[in-house]
Copies of this chain bind each other. A is one copy, B any other.
């Protein structure tokens, strides 16, 4: 089968199209005919060598997110049959069967769910990693409940745009930030109650305006870096900050004086542990239901790439100019 393979870490040009053996199905797994995948920041960090600890061995087929059709079912799998349309985040990392940048992908059935019927393959491939991340952050870890207020940074980001919709689905009051009119309009269309241009208003200004200076019960930081300091500032006393990017150094004084909780969510950890994977498949089943109820839709960047164009797709994500998810469709 055809695959985009890397033989070493490097810049986006490191991908090479190669003919490699199609994987054989093994117990607990299914073989998926890959229809689409999407790029997540972690895929670019694996490719560049920034996160070697979670990278697969060379030659490596990258990418976790997949949508496709089941073509073979391994021993012990009862959930899926040949011909089922499925999606999940299910490979491309250390110790896993293989990535999605190929004609076929071998995937642990525990990590998969039925593709939502009202989504195309490209749309479905955009969701798994970001939806699981947002779910784990807000519900598994953050215990977000109806009536709470939550500030979600990066309205048009991969995780941010899904978090807005899931938080509204859960009955929260959603505030969201972005840097442009266009992105704030996206946040509004996705259901955010209040949109904030963080270039025009300081944290103190919007805390005063929307919370009487008290702060938000939950702050979801999907950005990291200096933004994490702004998240600490925006949280109410005894509040919670959810972070998905925290490889940086921070003054924790505000965590102390406000008695905050910081949950750092690194989605890969449970994916890499066989015993924990089921949790992600179960989250995706719920996500499928929410999508089919019309409460959640992925936002796709206007550039859709083919598997031949993987280098461009990575470059586009790394440029910071993408809006929503960068998706690739398999035309092989």
Q: A residues near B, CB below 8 A?
A: 53, 141, 228, 237-238, 243, 245-253, 255-266, 269-270
Contact = CB atoms under 8 A, between A and B. Distances in A.
A257 B141 contact: no
Contacts of A269: 237-238, 258-259
B255 A259 contact: no
A246 B250 contact: no
B266 A257 contact: yes
Nearest to A256: B246
Contacts of A262: 255, 261-262, 264
A177 B269 CA distance: 28
Given A257-B53, A258-B269, A269-B259, A252 B238 contact: no
B253 A259 contact: no
A141 B260 CA distance: 10
B261 A266 contact: no
Contacts of A252: 228, 246-250, 264
A273 to B, nearest CB: 8
A268 to B, nearest CB: 9
